[in-house]
Structure 1
Amino acid sequence: MIEATPAVPSYAETLRELPTDQGVLRYHEAGDGPPLLLLHGSGPGVTGWRNYRGNLAAFARHFRCLVLEFPGFGVSDPTDEHPMLAAPKAVVRFLEGLGLDRVDVVGNSMGGIVAAKLAIARPGLFRRIVSVGGIGRNLFSPSPGEGIKLLVEFTENPSREALVRWMHSMVYDPAVVTDEMVEERWAQATDPDTLASARRMFGREALTALLAADEAGDQPPYWAMLHKITAPTLITWGRDDRVSPVDMALLPMRTMPKAELHIMPDCGHWVMIEQKDAWESAVLAFLNRPGGDV
């Protein structure tokens, strides 16, 4: 018997709000079952909805999907903090607000870094972890990568042309980047508050300072503490990623005690979009695998 294709949840029917003492957190909720937290990446016009809207139908058949919108990206209430510093605190407020003390988590790029930092600081918070590119450390490739340089160029001097160049660096096949995707990204990326927040992350001076602090800080960088993450972890990566080159995956794959690595061919940074079906299959098999939890 052919199984019916699950209905695609809509933006309006899944949108929720959670008031907190530091502003309203907005999120999308779909499905029933064990909680699955989905954390988005960074970049012009990004939202959790745009990262994961195509995957919700598949995941909502198995999980209560919770797509959190990080402060500083134009959907949840804004933050005066650096968005990367605000994000882990927002996750904690979000989970506490929903009364959840243990969840599975999927993190794309920045979202994967946020999940890794929380897993180091709060062992037991995540049952299983899935990362989509981003975590780790450049071992052979130059840093920052091509996609990050194009992101800086757009942040410093926003234009549609610069946005398209950056979006093309995110994928293996440029045809994935449609006119509709460009227009919806452009509208949000050029919102004054969102652009100001982006410049705190990816302005040239801000990025230079961040990289210097990572090298010379008093505390070890998160990638030097990945061995502390004991939750079973699936690291997924696009073989042709020009934002976070695939050699970055070697460090977490080798140092995280329960990590496994799945590399998708003909695929850039947006693995969950460009290799949607294969990625969903791998992630669902991992999350639904019996046993092996800490």
Structure 2
Amino acid sequence: MLTELTYESTARELVTDQGVLRYHEAGEGPPLLLLHGSGPGVTGWRNFRGNLAVLAERFRCLILEFPGFGVSDSTGEHPMAGAQAAVIRFLDGLGLQQVDVIGNSMGGIVGAQVAMAHPDRVRRLVTIGGVGRNLFSPGPGEGIKLLMDFTEEPTRERLVQWLDSMVYDRSLVTEELIEERWALATEPATLAGARRMYGKAAFAAGAAAAAASDAPPYWAMLHKIKAKTLITWGRDDRVSPVDMAILPMRSIPDVEVHIFPDCGHWVMIEQKAAWESVVLAFLTRKDER
């Protein structure tokens, strides 16, 4: 197993016509693109560093840092709005025609959007929570409301409340994790990007724009995904309740679902070994048709 993977040894940069995209690379084999979620102090490295050694045994792993989260150069856009284009810019810059994709929360939505818009670029898609829409539970979920509270008034206490909502086992919210997230989440440019996504005014404006638009939401178009898809979810997710998985489960043509018990939003962290086993089995399974 590859155990000596550090931030410094895996960090890379790709210069593009819209600034530098930063990423982490490890392993050899078929290319596997990992896309992170959103939230205070998030980075791709922090989402997937614990899984990298295992996945890199079988794949050339590429953890992309989305613009607008304090690592890659910002494009000035709403972070969600610029993410899909950033993925294509990244793949083109590395000369990759087709990849497997793992996307956590927002990263899963972005992966699904890329798979719909560019079906030849995504061979297999794995999502971790977040994809779909609430059917039985109220929305936004508890964790999203806590995220909005932190974004409006960034205090350490509110950060801890949000981090607690991300997990089933609160012992995972260590002082080290809190300090790590706090440092980047309160950096002015990163906080400004978060407010474009989760500030209460921005959230309300986005909802109003969606209601007024004739364009269908992404979740109404999931039937266009041609890639074999694995949806993974924590049964106890308080950010994106598990009933959200029902719509993509019924909409995506070639899809399977795995729900992990005693697990919150960070499935790849909280159920690390089980999640890695399921994902590797899915990604390496030979096509049966």
Would the TM-score normalized by the shorter structure come out above 0.5? yes
Q: Is the 8 A contact 1:232 1:292 kept in 2?
A: no
- Aligned partner of 2:283 among 271, 274, 287: 287
- 8 Å CA contact retained: 1:39, 1:67: yes
What is the TM-score with the length of structure 1 in the denominator? 0.97
Map residues 1-294 of structure 1 onto 2, 5 A cutoff: 5-292=1-288
State the distance in 1 between where 2:216 and 2:227 align: 21
Return the letter of the residue paired with 1:203.
G
Q: Provide Cα deviations, 1:215-256, integer angstroms capped at 9, x if missing partner.
A: 332210000000110110000000000000000000000111
Cα RMSD of the aligned pairs, angstroms, is: 0.9
- CA offsets 1:140-195 (integer angstroms, 9 cap, x no match): 01110000000000000001100000000000010011110100100000000000
Using structure 2 for the length normalisation, give the TM-score. 0.98
- Number of corresponding residues: 289
Gaps of 5+ in 2: none
The answer to whether the Cα contact below 8 Å between 1:8 and 1:56 also exists between their aligned partners in 2 is no
Q: CA deviation at 1:292?
A: 4.5
Give me the whole-angstrom Cα distance separating, in 2, the residues matched to 1:21 and 1:199: 25
Deviation above 3 Å: which 4+ runs of structure 1? none
Contact 1:237–1:262 under 8 Å retained in 2: yes
Task: Show CA shifts across 1:17-37 (max 9, x none).
Answer: 000000000000000000000
* CA shift in 2, pair 1:278/1:79, >3 Å: same
Give the aligned residue type for 2:157: E
User: Structure 1 pair 238/8, CA: closer, same or farther in 2 (3 Å)?
Assistant: farther
CA distance in 1, matches of 2:120, 2:212: 30
- Deviation, 1:8, is 4.0
Letter in 1 for 2:213: G
Instruction: Specify the SS of the correspondent of 1:45.
Output: coil
The DSSP-based 3-state class of the residue aligned with 2:97 is coil
The alpha-carbon deviation at position 211 of structure 1 amounts to 2.2
Deviation of 1:212 after TM superposition, in Å, equals 2.6
- Tell me the distance in 2 between the aligned counterparts of 1:253 and 1:287: 18
User: Percent of counterpart pairs with the same letter?
Assistant: 70
For structure 1, list consecutive stretches of 5 or more residues without a partner in the other structure: none
Determine helix, strand or coil for the equivalent of 1:66. strand
Q: Distance in 2 between matches of 1:136 and 1:216?
A: 20
For 1:131 and 1:85, locate their aligned partners in 2 and report how far apart those are by CA, in whole Å.
Answer: 19
- Give the deviation of 1:119 after TM superposition: 1.0
The structural deviation recorded for 1:118 is 1.1
Does the residue aligned with 1:28 lie in a helix, a strand or coil? strand
Instruction: Give, as a single letter, the amino acid of the residue that structure 2 aligns with 1:111.
Output: G
**Cα distance in 1, alignment partners of residues 115 and 2 from structure 2:** 32
